């Protein structure tokens, strides 16, 4: 049972959304203790020390060759992780590596180009093929995208095998030179080659960091990988972001492939088979795709384990199979997340939400002032003219026409299946506008999710969508950042206070209750200070006390932000209290419109709800 906030003194104190997600003056213990941070930092130091010391300990020619191969595999896995984090599984990473190897080999051998500019060209050409593949296939989802990349790999193998005059056909290209020396560093020495590959790996990890948590683009990519629909509502355009990620991943793959090709001084079509790409995918997954060091750990394990098992050839495949089964059953999210979870369990500072997660209308501070906006020519914020939406032969909306005035709180009601959520989906571009026009501020628009979010149209969903791997504070900040808004810190504090989430700022979305998720979706929607707010059944699944609280918060948000608000809700008593006007849908048609009292007496509305 949710406790009232006036029993929780923490809610009466000011709080701040700090960069780390902690609460300034708040009521929560930091989720990760200093001991855990020290252990993580120690892990990075240990990895760095091992990477530096490895060629001094493993000194045989064979061991050094394995170390160079390990570093190059880690570069490939780190590059592939960029795409996987964005929500797409590619089976062509080895192919991009092969393209890079062939390009640099051809330039060096047939055109007498110095290797170092050829290395850069190899990466660029691989990225170009990645863009071409992305343009034709990134709209595909899940299994179908993987099949498209698999097909691309097969086509590449056929072309490289048939182009004998340039690529050497099935025999491949061999006798390639190692990279030329740079000052005193001779790349005929495998130790030099290894350290150079480690430097490139560090660069690849830097790129991966920029494509995950280091930039707004990277944070958008990770949100896109977690929930594409929610990412669109937060202002992340799926295709451009994924295309950029695919190009970057392909570039890294091309660089790694060129380094590998000139290390072994040869390449053939068998080196870019889809099975090799699958092996790289397993590296990414085994280490933990969501962690920066995960693909490196996965590459180290899956490169070293087969080599260690070669001493017992008759048992090697059995032991390798046991390792893969252990991965499937015990650490599906990867080895590093498993270790991370273990450290958090051992840490004395655990997730411990404060008892007062809700509040009953405390005296809120005034909402911080918004930047001045240009005056609008029309008082109509949103208009529909003969809007229709169909999926094949199924018509969900037909001839929908009405207007919503600026600053209005409009209720959209109707029986189940009336087309209410579809109307919201049409507004935000999640469903097709097959006929008619949607006008925003008097201008006809062709909606798409990211574009509408960036134009100040925010929404929640029928089933609460939250970022399960992000804390509440991070989710609120992303809600503002990804739509291009830069609200002051005091505004985000106000958002957390208004939605009664201040005691929960450090809690990840996966640990929130249904009611807390409902409030978080509202907080994320208003974080970017929208002009139009679409709330889709925000009270669904709530008990009476929770309904009363959130109803009051919605009313306060509308009044204090002054935004135009459209509310879909089945709790008609609440709708009658909140909304100044109602629009009633049934079977995709508008059957009534007006003030709540008039609509409640309308015969068509009564028949729609109660039957004839």
389 and 531 belong to one structural domain: yes
Residue 119 lies in a domain: yes
Q: What is the mean pLDDT of residues 391-411?
A: 95
Residue 304 lies in a domain: no
DSSP letter string, 519-548? HHHHHHHHTT--SEEEEESTTTT--HHHHH
264 and 408 belong to one structural domain: no
Q: Cβ(290)–Cβ(470) under 8 Å?
A: no
| pLDDT of residue 166 exceeding 90 | yes
**What is the 3-state secondary structure of 54-118?**
HHHHCCCHHHHHHHHHHHHHHHHHHHHHHHHHCCCCCCCHHHHHHHHHHHHHHHHHHCCCCHHHH
CA distance 270 to 276: 9
265 and 390 belong to one structural domain: no
In what helix (H) or strand (E) does residue 398 lie, and over which residues does it extend?
Answer: strand 394-405
Residue 552 lies in a domain: yes
Distance from the first to the final alpha carbon of the chain:
41
Residue where one domain finishes, among candidates 221, 246, 274: 274
The domain spanning residue 447 has which CATH number? 3.40.50.300
Q: How far is CA 296 from the centre of its chain?
A: 21
Q: Cβ(460)–Cβ(521) under 8 Å?
A: yes
396 and 268 belong to one structural domain: no
Residue where one domain finishes, among candidates 274, 292, 310: 274
Q: What is the pLDDT of residues 135-158, one digit of tens each?
A: 999 889 888 999 999 999 999 999
- Which tokens in the block code for residue 346? 């051992």
| Residue (of 364, 470, 349, 355) closest to 15 by Cα position | 364
392 and 257 belong to one structural domain: no
Query: Which range has the top average pLDDT, 18-27, 239-248, 317-326?
Result: 239-248
Specify the number of domains making up the chain.
2
Q: How much is the mean pLDDT over the chain?
A: 87
Q: Cβ(527)–Cβ(49) under 8 Å?
A: no
Between 32-41, 334-343, 580-589, the lowest mean confidence (pLDDT) is in: 32-41
| pLDDT of residue 174 exceeding 80 | yes
Residue 358 has φ and ψ, to the nearest 5°, of -125, 165
pLDDT of residue 3: 39
CA distance 156 to 268: 12
120 and 253 belong to one structural domain: yes
Residue 22 lies in a domain: no
268 and 396 belong to one structural domain: no
269 and 392 belong to one structural domain: no
Residue 320 lies in a domain: no
Going by C-beta distance under 8 Å and a sequence separation of 6 or more, which residues neighbour residue 7?
A: 355, 356
Q: Which one-letter DSSP state was computed for residue 508?
A: B
Q: Cβ(187)–Cβ(196) under 8 Å?
A: yes
**Beta partners for residue 137, in sequence order:** none
CA distance 223 to 215: 12
Residue 28 lies in a domain: no
CA distance 300 to 308: 12
- Which tokens in the block code for residue 366? 């005034």
260 and 384 belong to one structural domain: no
pLDDT of residue 274: 85
| pLDDT of residue 423 exceeding 70 | yes
Between 19-23, 236-240, 410-414, 589-593, the lowest mean confidence (pLDDT) is in: 19-23
Q: What is the pLDDT of residues 102-141, one digit of tens each?
A: 999 999 999 999 999 999 999 999 999 999 999 999 889 8
Residue where one domain finishes, among candidates 254, 274, 294: 274
Residue 12 lies in a domain: no
Residue 292 has φ and ψ, to the nearest 5°, of -60, -40
Q: Which domain holds residue 599?
A: 380-610
């Amino acid at each position: 049972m949710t406790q009232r906030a006036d029993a929780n003194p923490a809610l009466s104190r000011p709080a701040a959304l700090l960069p780390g997600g902690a609460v300034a003056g708040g009521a929560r213990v930091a989720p990760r203790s200093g001991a855990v941070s020290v252990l993580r930092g120690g892990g990075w130091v240990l990895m760095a020390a091992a990477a530096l010391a490895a060629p001094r300990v493993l000194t045989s020619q064979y061991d050094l060759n394995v170390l160079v191969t390990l570093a190059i595999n880690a570069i490939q896995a780190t590059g592939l992780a960029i795409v996987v984090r964005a929500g797409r599984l590619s089976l062509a990473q080895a192919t991009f590596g092969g393209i890079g190897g062939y390009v640099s080999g051809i330039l060096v051998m047939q055109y007498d180009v110095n290797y170092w500019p050829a290395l850069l060209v190899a990466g660029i050409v691989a990225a170009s093929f990645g863009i071409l593949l992305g343009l034709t296939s990134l709209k595909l989802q899940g299994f179908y995208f993987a099949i498209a990349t698999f097909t691309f790999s097969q086509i590449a193998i056929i072309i490289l095998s048939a182009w004998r005059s340039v690529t050497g056909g099935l025999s491949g290209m061999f006798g390639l030179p190692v990279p030329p020396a740079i000052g005193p560093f001779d790349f005929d020495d495998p130790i030099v080659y290894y350290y150079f590959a480690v430097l490139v790996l560090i660069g690849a990890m830097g790129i991966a960091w920029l494509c995950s948590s280091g930039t707004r683009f990277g944070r958008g990519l990770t949100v896109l990988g977690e929930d594409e629909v929610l990412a669109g509502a937060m202002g992340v355009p799926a295709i451009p972001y994924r295309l950029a990620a695919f190009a970057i991943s392909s570039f890294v793959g091309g660089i790694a492939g060129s380094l590998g090709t000139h290390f072994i001084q040869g390449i053939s079509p068998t080196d870019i088979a889809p099975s090799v790409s699958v092996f790289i995918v397993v590296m990414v997954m085994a280490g933990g795709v969501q962690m920066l060091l995960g693909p490196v750990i996965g590459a180290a394990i899956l490169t070293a384990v087969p080599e260690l098992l070669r001493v017992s050839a008759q048992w090697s495949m059995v032991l390798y199979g046991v390792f893969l089964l252990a991965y499937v059953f015990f650490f599906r999210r990867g080895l590093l997340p498993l270790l991370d979870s273990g450290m958090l369990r051992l840490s004395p500072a655990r997730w411990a939400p404060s008892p007062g997660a809700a509040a009953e209308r405390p005296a809120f501070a005034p909402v911080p002032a918004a930047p001045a906006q240009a005056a609008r020519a029309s008082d109509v914020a949103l208009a529909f003219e003969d809007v229709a939406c169909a999926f094949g032969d199924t018509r969900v909306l037909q001839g929908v026409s009405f207007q919503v005035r600026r600053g209005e709180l409009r209720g959209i009601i109707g029986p189940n299946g009336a087309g209410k959520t579809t109307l919201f989906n049409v507004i935000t571009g999640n469903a097709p506008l097959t006929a008619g026009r949607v006008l925003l501020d008097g201008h006809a628009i062709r909606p798409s999710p990211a574009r509408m979010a960036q134009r100040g149209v925010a929404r929640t969903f029928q089933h609460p969508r939250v970022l399960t791997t992000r804390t509440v504070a991070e989710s609120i900040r992303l809600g503002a950042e990804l739509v291009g808004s830069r609200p002051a810190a005091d505004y985000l504090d106000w958002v957390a206070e208004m939605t009664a989430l201040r005691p929960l700022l450090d809690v990840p979305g996966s640990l929130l209750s249904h009611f807390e998720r409902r409030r978080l979706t509202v907080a994320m929607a208003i974080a970017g200070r929208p002009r139009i707010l679409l709330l889709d059944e925000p009270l669904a699944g709530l008990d009476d006390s929770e309904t009363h609280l959130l109803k009051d918060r919605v009313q306060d948000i509308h009044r204090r932000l002054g935004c135009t608000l459209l509310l879909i809700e089945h709790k008609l008593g609440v709708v009658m209290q909140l909304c100044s006007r109602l629009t009633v849908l049934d079977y995709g048609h508008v059957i009534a419109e007006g003030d709540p009292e008039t609509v409640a007496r309308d015969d068509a509305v009564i028949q729609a709800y109660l039957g004839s």
